[in-house]
Structure 1
């Protein structure tokens, strides 16, 4: 159900998506969708939550065993850019927040950002001076924001591979991150 709903929401947008269409494509009754998700918004929230969990899993798994902060960041970024290429519909839901401002869906999208920021901050915390506890978190916010914009840019240029996008991000981000305290 979630996979089909994700496809419909990403193709039509939340407002134009129809529970009737989703139910028909899934092969269940519309009341059954409401039984599971209570509302169209509930179904959207379930789609976003599933995308967030999948993104967390791939980025966390990618960083396991990294011996340096730079290697962990590079691996995590590559996992992110591969995710958005392979899971375009999930990425579409996560990036179309402007249409959802003021709704619980916008809060879910912000939780996704927070999840990624927390992961990056944890990976980077040992890299920065322990006296400046906010530096890792601020740096993680910059990485997440920059990579979101780069991911949107990549959509306009399908020939840009996840590896190339990761290289661009690392070239710009790592030079600043690798000089803590300056």
Structure 2
């Protein structure tokens, strides 16, 4: 007797990691467009094709979803600047390529950097801590690069230089909000004119 296989119905279940990536991509777009306060979990759930309870099951809350977006941006920023650093042949190219990677990345992740420049938009200690951890990550990364380029500098000087570079990047990102015609390449050129002399040890 021949047996018949029951037909399959419905969509194939998406693996959790892939679903999380999809949610974070959509959430970042919505946060960027509507701001944190104006973002609705209903809207994000509808765009992803999930129920709102399922969205809460993944991230717990709207703040939890924002934190996950920031944590992803933190990882990807370090990856982008690390890749840029790996291809540099000189200290000047190293600084140039890492600055350019930062500005291009900030263009692609507008919400994360808008929050970095205006932390009062989200009155949350968890979000503030995550934003500061992004700064500290990049400060330590920059300090390590400076150490390779300027082994004559002591640890305090390296930390000061790195803090100055990270602070300047944030301020230029804010300036570019007011001057949208300034490209990532132009912003990089301005900072290179300021910081490139510091790559040459004093005689």
Give secondary structure in 2 for the equivalent of 1:62.
helix
Query: CA separation of 1:33/1:102 partners in 2, compared to 1, >3 Å: closer, same or farther?
Result: closer
Shift of 1:90: 4.1
Question: Are positions 1:178 and 2:199 aligned together?
Answer: yes
Q: Give the whole-Å Cα distance in 2 for the aligned partners of 1:80 and 1:103.
A: 25
Query: Corresponding residue for 2:136?
Result: 114
Alignment of 1:52-67 (within 5 A): 52-67=74-89
Residues 41-50 or 77-86, more deviating: 77-86
Shift of 1:100: 2.9
Deviation at 1:79, TM superposition (A): 0.7
Number of residue pairs the alignment of both structures matches: 181
Higher CA-based Rg: 2
- Is 2:79 the partner of 1:28? no
> Contact 1:128–1:135 at 8 Å: present in 2 too?
no
Distance 1:180 1:59, change over 3 A: same
Matched residues in 1 for 2:119 and 2:53: separation? Answer: 27
CA distance in 1, matches of 2:192, 2:29: 31
Q: CA RMSD in A?
A: 2.0
- Give the TM-score normalised by structure 2: 0.81
- The gaps in structure 1 that reach 5 residues or longer are none
Give the CA deviation at 1:88: 2.7
The more displaced of 82-91 and 136-145 is 82-91
Q: Equivalences for 1:43-54 in 2 at 5 Å?
A: 43-54=65-76
Find the counterpart in structure 1 of residue 187 from structure 2: 165
Which shows bigger deviation, 65-74 or 40-49?
A: 65-74
Using the TM superposition, name which of 43-52 and 88-97 deviates more.
Answer: 88-97
Does 1:150 find its partner at 2:172?
yes
With over 3 angstroms needed to count, the CA separation of the structure-2 counterparts of 1:72 and 1:111, relative to structure 1, is: same
Please show how residues 22-101 of structure 1 align to structure 2 within 5 Å.
22-101=44-123
3-state SS of the aligned residue for 1:158? coil
Q: Distance in 2 between matches of 1:149 and 1:131?
A: 25
Q: Runs of at least 4 residues of structure 1 off by over 4 A?
A: 179-182
Residues 131 and 145 of structure 1: CA distance in aligned 2, closer, same or farther (over 3 Å): closer
1:126 and 2:142 correspond = no
Distance 2:167 2:123 in 1: 17
Query: Where does the alignment leave 5 or more consecutive residues of structure 2 unmatched?
Result: 1-22
